[in-house]
Amino acid sequence: APQRETHAFQAEINQLLSLVINSLYSHKEIFLRELVSNASDALDKLRFRAITEPELLADEPALELRLIPDEAKGTLTIEDTGIGMTHDELVKNLGTIAHSGSREFLEALAQKGQQKDMQLIGQFGVGFYSAYLVADRVEVVSRAAGKDPAAWRWTSEAKGSFTVEPAERAARGTSITLHLKEDQKEFLGEWRLRSLITQYSDYVGHPIKLQVSKTTGTGDDAKTETSLEVVNKASALWQRAKSEITDEQYQEFYKHLTHDWEAPLAWTHFKADGNTQFTGLLFVPKQPPFDLDAQQQRGVRLFVKRVFIMDRCEELVPQWLRFVRGVIDSDDLPLNVSRELLQDSQVVRAIRKHVVKKSLDLLEKLAKDKPEDYLTFWKAFGTVLKEGLATEAEQKDKLGGLLRYESSRDEGLTSLADYVGRMKEGQEAIYYVYGESRKAVADSPHLEALKQRGFEVLYMTDPVDEWAAQGLREFQGKPLVSALQADLKLQSTDEQKKEQEQQAEGLKTLTAKMKDVLQESVREVRVSDRLTDSPVCLVVPEGGSPAYLERLLQQRGR
Ligand code: ADP
Ligand code: MG
């Protein structure tokens, strides 16, 4: 017969466990949110697989969570009838850092510098291991959904190793039993548990049942009866009416969805009832994740008729909105929808269009109502949003309105609309200068003529800026013109023109000599009216490739 095996934790897990046990004193109650969230994920996964394998539900038709406090033993058990884990999954999932939550926690820690901000870290979900905030021993008994009736018990006191041994379990699912520390027995209390569920886990779309005990009679006649009571709303958050959802509930749901430890910056919750029916709940985070692109797995989750289908559904959201998080729940897609089907589905295209519109509306509203918050967004995700200018022609006007740039006005970021509002009489274009840094562009000789005329110049210093500006081309009927462009058509008076012609005549020998010396390095040397203080500057000739392209080619060694 199989024996008990002992496994060592991966080094990173030990590091994590020692932090959890020795350093996190605040927010210990988050353990419940984490374990409930895992159970809810396990139920979602099962429901999804049961679409094609209904027999998985045979041993236990209910999809639910149970919380079972046991005063006598000093234990709290969190049970689910979800997908369960095999022997190998137990070892891998609860012994190595392969999974998301904990890896991010360690990365956050590295970024913050050693143990600096414990308060913040206390709010961070450390996933399963947060069980050790309140327990000194944890037992997990799990049985994977399917034909194999084998169940396994995982046990650990978080001292470097865990054991795995055969166990009994009547049906599929997972039970996690926490042997509460002496000073953490408060988590056995009915009201404490009820209020934690309401506070942190009300979004969960499966019933959470709490075992409650009622004692009747006294002395020898005393009888204790237990029963299970549903303590959450048990309907997916996005299916409820907006008026019934508090900001805190939206925020908790967002944290569950994204593993972000900060509340979102903004959200939008909507129902579309046109030709395609679906519900959407979209969030804009405050901070970019550690790696925005690798993080796409957290993008927008697709549900079909309340059934979880997939985590990251890129078909629903364009690349340039990849910071958006949330849920789309469609009534029109088939439950067994595949990637291929998503790719050329009319329904998906309609949803995507709506998602784009709602996201842009949300950002516009944020910019209008909470300009400070909008700047936070802009600093975090502006670079990503700008990609839309080059790829989504239809949304140019809306996107143009969302852009923010530093400018020669030196008063922080400005919108294009505000810039246009300040345009001088006779100014016909929105001028910008592109360069590597603010300092480089602000000192650029190319600006002199513009500054002299009192024209404001936008400073573009983000590598995507020039590309984006060319995508936008114009805003509110005003063309965007680069200050580096050769034929800067600035209006001069007749007198000025005359003077310039005379000057050019007088400098003819000099410019000819310069061309002689510089030879093939330049195409032409000419007298210009664009400079006021500097003697010379380089410009891109008409038909020449833009400066950013030159730089790109140079970097690649062409
Ligand atoms: P995360 O939820 O971010 O993946 P956790 O530390 O919370 O990280 O959980 C680690 C992994 O353990 C999960 O990804 C899942 O595979 C597995 N797991 C945890 N709890 C359960 C459960 N109740 N049922 C099935 N699998 C679970
Ligand atoms: Mg988790």
Looking up tokens 């289908």, which residue turns up?
A: 309
Coil/strand/helix, residue 457:
strand
pLDDT tens, per residue, the chain with 558 residues: 568 999 999 988 898 888 888 876 677 888 998 899 899 999 999 998 998 899 999 999 999 999 999 999 999 999 999 999 999 999 999 998 765 556 666 666 666 554 544 544 444 557 899 899 999 999 999 999 999 999 999 999 999 999 999 999 999 999 999 999 999 999 999 999 999 998 888 888 899 999 999 888 888 888 889 999 999 988 889 999 999 999 999 998 998 888 777 899 999 999 998 888 999 999 999 988 665 555 444 589 999 888 888 888 888 999 899 999 999 999 888 887 877 888 888 999 999 999 999 999 999 999 999 999 999 999 999 999 999 998 888 899 999 999 999 999 988 999 999 999 999 988 889 999 988 888 888 887 778 888 888 899 999 998 889 888 888 999 999 999 988 774 555 556 677 777 777 877 888 888 888 888 888 778 788 777 666 667 777 777 666 666 656 665 665 554
Give the span between the Cα atoms of 323 and 295, in whole angstroms.
9
**H-run or E-run covering 89:** helix 87-93
Phi and psi dihedrals of 167, rounded to 5?
Answer: -145, 175
Task: Kindly give the distance from the C-alpha atom of residue 523 to the centroid of ligand 2, in angstroms, as a whole number.
Answer: 63
Nearest CA to ligand 1 atom 21: 38
Residues 445-482, buried b or exposed e (16+ Cβ, 10 A)? bbbbbbeeeebbbbbbbeebbbbbbebbeebeebebbb
Mutate to test the pocket of ligand 1, among 16, 32, 33, 41 (most ligand atoms within 8 A of CB): 41
Q: Beta partners for 272?
A: 278
Tokens of 489: 């058509």
Which residues have CB under 8 Å from 42's CB, separation 6+?
80, 82, 83, 84, 173, 174
φ and ψ of 331, to 5 deg: -95, -10
- Gyration radius of the chain over CA positions: 31
| Nearest bound ligand to the CA of residue 79 | 1
Q: By C-alpha distance, which of 179, 156, 172 is closest to 42?
A: 172
| Residue 78 alpha carbon, nearest atom of ligand 1 | 23
Q: How far apart are CA 72 and CA 226, in angstroms?
A: 14
What residues are designated binding site for ATP?
34, 38, 80, 85, 93, 100-101, 123-128, 174, 339
Residue 355 Cα to ligand 1 midpoint, Å, equals 30
What DSSP element (H or E) covers 257? helix 247-258
User: Would you say 95 and 162 are in contact if contact means Cβ atoms under 8 Å apart?
Assistant: yes
Please report, in range form, the residues annotated as the binding site: 34, 38, 80, 85, 93, 100-101, 123-128, 174, 339
Name the residue with the closest Cα to ligand 1, atom 5: 127
Are residues 32 and 38 in contact, defined by beta-carbon separation less than 8 angstroms? no
CA distance 35 to 94: 13
Number of Cβ within 10 Å of residue 343's Cβ equals 11
Q: How far is the CA of 38 from the centre of ligand 2 (A)?
A: 5
Is residue 280 within 8 A of residue 333, CB to CB? The reply is: no
| Ligand 1, atom 3: closest residue by C-alpha | 101
Counting ligand 1 atoms within 8 A of each CB, the residue from 30, 31, 35, 93 with the most, and so the one to mutate, is 93
State which of 38, 41, 100 you would mutate to test the pocket of ligand 1, scoring each by most atoms of that ligand within 8 A of its C-beta.
38
Q: Give the 3-state secondary structure of residue 381.
A: helix
ipTM confidence: 0.99
The string of DSSP codes covering 48-86 is HHHHH-GGGGTT-----EEEEEETTTTEEEEEE-SS---
Q: Give me ligand 2 centre to Cα 130, in Å.
A: 10
- Backbone φ and ψ for 40, nearest 5 degrees, come out as -65, -40
**Which of 166, 164, 176, 169 has its CA nearest to residue 139?**
176
Q: Which residues line ligand 1 (CB under 6 A)?
A: 34, 38-39, 42, 80, 82-83, 85, 93-94, 99-102, 127-128, 174
Name the residue at shortest CA distance from atom 20 of ligand 1: 38
Amino acid 162 reads F
CB 235 within 8 A of CB 264: no
Q: CA-CA distances (angstroms) from residue 82 to 36, 62, 146, 297?
A: 12, 9, 11, 22
385: Cβ contacts below 8 Å, ≥ 6 apart: 320, 321, 363, 399, 402
**Residue 99 DSSP symbol:** S
Using most ligand atoms within 8 A of CB, pick from 79, 128, 295 the residue to mutate for ligand 1.
Answer: 128
- Give, using CA atoms, the residue closest to atom 15 of ligand 1: 93
